Amino acid sequence: MNGVLKAAAAALVPWLVLVGLWEFGAATGSLATTLFPPPSSFVKFAIENDFRVGFGSEAMTVPAAIIASSFRVVAGLAIGFVAAVLTGILVSMSRWLSIALLPIVRGLAPIAPIAWIPIGIVIFGVGNPTAIFVVFTGVYFLLTLSTVAAVQSVDERLVKTARTYGASPRQVWTHVIFPAVLPQVFTMLRINFFAAWMAVLAAEMVGLKNGVGMIVILGREMFNPNLIMLGICIIGVTGYAVDALLLFIQRKILWWKTAE
């Protein structure tokens, strides 16, 4: 636990320095506070407004916005991961499925998740399902391809060992290949998390009208730099926290690839 605290402190120091310089620049007038209001300004603003932003039907609290956005990205990642691993394994099991599906997956993988936003809104309307759908499309195709690649790189000795110990072809898939590919695919999930996170924010900005992405847009509409900067900082901190959660899962639950 001591090590974790030390690591957290070490990560915090550069930030404290940056905030110090920021405050110093703002206080001495060498930084345009209309564009870059310092934390002392936008945090004060948030406290004064009781952590509430927006008016009428668009009003929301900051914690609710953070929870809404995090839920969307985590749900989209989870569904995308499970679906991609299952698809990748099924495709790898059958030559015909791979011939039929892989070219399509390969064609859809390079499409930026943001491009799916209009389609998501048409299909699911304005709400959580659209945001989850956008995250899903952002990771599903890529992770399916990396599952297929991971299956091909499973150590053949593990497969042979399982077979000599009486594992049926199906048991080789469920007891050897499935656990063997999980860490590698999860690493890809982490790499693609940032793209998925950006997609959620974009979806919130253009259509969903809530979540942390909306805070920035509200700030723009109201010409309120405090709100914009507050939104940006929350996006950064929340993204960092979700990434830390993914890293924790990788280290505690899916550790075996990294442990070799």
Partner 1 sequence: MSSLEIDAVRKVWPGARGLETTAIEDASLRVSSGEFVAILGPSGCGKSTLLELCAGLEPLSGGRILIDGEPVTGPNPKVVMVFQEHSLFPWLTVEDNVIFGLRMKGMGIDERWRRGREVLERVRLVKFAKHYPHQLSGGMRQRVAIARALVGQPEFILMDEPFAALDFQTRVLMQQFLLEIWSGFQSTILFVTHQIDEAVLLADRVVVMSAAPGRVLEDVKIDLPRPRSMTDPAFNDYRMRLTAHMEREVMRAAEFQ
The site for partner 1 (CB under 8 A) is made up of: 155, 157-158, 160-168, 171, 175-176, 179-180, 256-257, 259-260
Q: Which residue, 155 or 221, is less far from partner 1 as judged by CB?
A: 155
Q: Which residue, 63 or 179, is less far from partner 1 as judged by CB?
A: 179
User: Which residues, including other chains, have CB under 8 Å from residue 35's CB and lie 6 or more apart?
Assistant: 225
Compute the distance between CA of residue 142 and CA of residue 80 in angstroms, rounded to an integer: 10
Closest distance of CB 143 from partner 1, Å: 19
Tokens of 95: 């030559």
Closest distance of CB 175 from partner 1, Å: 7
Q: Which residue, 124 or 178, is less far from partner 1 as judged by CB?
A: 178
Rg (alpha carbons) of the chain, rounded to whole number: 22
Tokens of 28: 């001495």
Distances (CA, A) of 55 to 19, 182, 214, 231: 30, 45, 12, 16
Beta bridge partners of 53: 60
| Residue whose entry in the numeric block shows the structure tokens 């030559």 | 95
Q: Which residue, 108 or 158, is less far from partner 1 as judged by CB?
A: 158
Closest distance of CB 172 from partner 1, Å: 9
Closest distance of CB 180 from partner 1, Å: 8
Q: Which residue, 40 or 168, is less far from partner 1 as judged by CB?
A: 168
Q: Which residue, 175 or 190, is less far from partner 1 as judged by CB?
A: 175
Q: Which residue, 240 or 256, is less far from partner 1 as judged by CB?
A: 256
Closest distance of CB 122 from partner 1, Å: 42
Q: Which residue, 102 or 167, is less far from partner 1 as judged by CB?
A: 167
Compute the distance between CA of residue 235 and CA of residue 27 in angstroms, rounded to an integer: 25
Please state at what angle helix 95-108 crosses helix 62-93, rounded to 10 degrees: 140
Closest distance of CB 83 from partner 1, Å: 22
Closest distance of CB 179 from partner 1, Å: 5
Please state at what angle helix 178-203 crosses helix 62-93, rounded to 10 degrees: 140
Query: Count of CB atoms within 10 A of residue 256's CB?
Result: 11
Compute the distance between CA of residue 140 and CA of residue 81 in angstroms, rounded to an integer: 7
Closest distance of CB 34 from partner 1, Å: 55
Beta bridge partners of 60: 53
Compute the distance between CA of residue 110 and CA of residue 136 in angstroms, rounded to an integer: 14
Q: Are 46 and 232 in contact (CB under 8 A)?
A: no
